A and B are shown apart, each in its own frame.
Chain A
Amino acid sequence: MQTKTEIGFNSKVEGDVVHTRLDTAVNWFRKNSLWPMPMGLACCAIELMAAGASRFDIARFGAEVMRFSPRQSDVMIVAGTVTYKMATAVKRIYDQMAEPKWVIAMGACASTGGMYRSYSVLQGVDTILPVDVYVSGCPPRPEALLDALIKLQGKVAKEPFLALQKRVA
């Protein structure tokens, strides 16, 4: 008796056939293999590395493939202080990422400028990029980053994938 609204599969009854909606399937593929583009700019990058290492293991969520190329990644994790000098480079790399793409602002500096209310620090990366999940902390624990990743997965799962596709008449 299937009560899940996600992918329903009873191997005894259905064998190797899965009944689901296309939206759900595509979102399931996407959320379980979110390849990060680590924009590790400062100290938060160390916690990002820790999340990628064995103890906290971001690989459990399919995100161990830290592609430093924007063309091959899905989610940009802005980890660290974004200075005005660096802001144009971050925006350029975000523009080079292929759709669909998401952004996690990791840490206080990326979310709001953090403790640096100064002439050289961009007061939050959301002034130049559309952020999906903000993580607070200075730096956030790796578990907090994994929690953010799980929240992002929840957001990706709810995306109306078919509705967003362009229709050709």
Chain B
Amino acid sequence: MSALELAQQLKARFGDCISEPAEFRAEITVRLSEAERIAEVCQFAKKEMGIDYLVDITSIDNYGTDPRWTIIYHLYGYGHHCHLRLKTDVSEEKSELPTVTGVWRTADWHEREIYDMMGIQFRGHPDLRRILMWEGYPYYPLRKDFPLGGKPSAVPEIAFTQTAPEEGGPFVTIAGGKSSTAREPRVREPASDDVELNARVERRRDMKEVHGHSHGPGPVEKK
């Protein structure tokens, strides 16, 4: 039982929803085109494919491209020791998909973290509230358009935040700059974080033109 066989089993059952398994450094990834069916797919994976351990759920903010969110499920089975990665996309207008807490209880906190950091809602979640930040915190911090230093906020009696000083910090590079000169910390203009954000968006666009994928070459699809 290899990961590739598992992926093919998944594809055989769900047909066109599941992409061809892609391979990168001996890891198999499949994409699910319809995020709404994620619970169904995971239920099948647990019951029929022996994937009894959800390693992690995480999310990517593809700022500048549509669909904005990619949710990634890392699956594993103790019986056959095989890992499988399941990716699915959600657009920003929707920002919602079904929960998989019905399949694996551990998804509870992973999904709460994704909600807290990115603002993606999980329909059917038993207790969807913030887990790292506090109730009433008004922002979603790990979105690409949220500055690292944070924004001021105050929830009386509970917590407050202030912007952390990044000005004059000597060791912060501009992520996404095209060359090392562009990434040089001393080029950084502290007044505008737009410099960094636009640099990143441009880089994503360039990567997509070259590789057809906004994050670089990506996994090779097996024919």
Contacts and interface: CB of A to CB of B under 8 A. Distances in A.
Interface of A: 84-85, 87-88, 113, 116-121, 123
A121 B150 CA distance: 9
A12 B157 CA distance: 61
Given A87-B159, A117-B169, A118-B149, A123 B134 contact: no
Contacts of A87: 159-160
Q: Is the interface of B mostly helix, strand, loop or mixed?
A: loop
Contacts of B157: 88
B134 A119 contact: no
A88 B134 CA distance: 12
Chain B interface size, as a band, is 20 to 34
A18 to B, nearest CB: 50
B141 interface: yes
A88 B148 contact: no
Contacts of B161: 84, 119-120
Contact of B133 (A85, A88, A116): A85
B164 interface: yes
A84 B159 CA distance: 6
Interface string B135-160: 00001010000111111000001111
Contact of A120 (B150, B158, B165, B166): B150
Contacts, number: 43
13 contacts: A84-B161, A85-B133, A87-B160, A88-B157, A116-B164, A117-B169, A118-B148, A118-B149, A119-B139, A119-B146, A119-B149, A120-B141, A120-B150
A37 B79 CA distance: 48
A116 to B, nearest CB: 8
A40 B149 CA distance: 24
A119 B159 CA distance: 12
A117 B133 contact: no
A87 B157 CA distance: 11
B159 to A, nearest CB: 5
A116 B157 CA distance: 24
Given A117-B149, A123-B162, A123-B164, 14 more contacts: A84-B160, A84-B161, A85-B133, A85-B134, A88-B157, A88-B159, A113-B164, A117-B164, A117-B169, A118-B149, A119-B139, A119-B147, A119-B149, A119-B150
Contacts of B132: 85, 120
Contacts of A88: 157-159
Given A85-B134, A118-B148, A118-B149, A123 B165 contact: yes
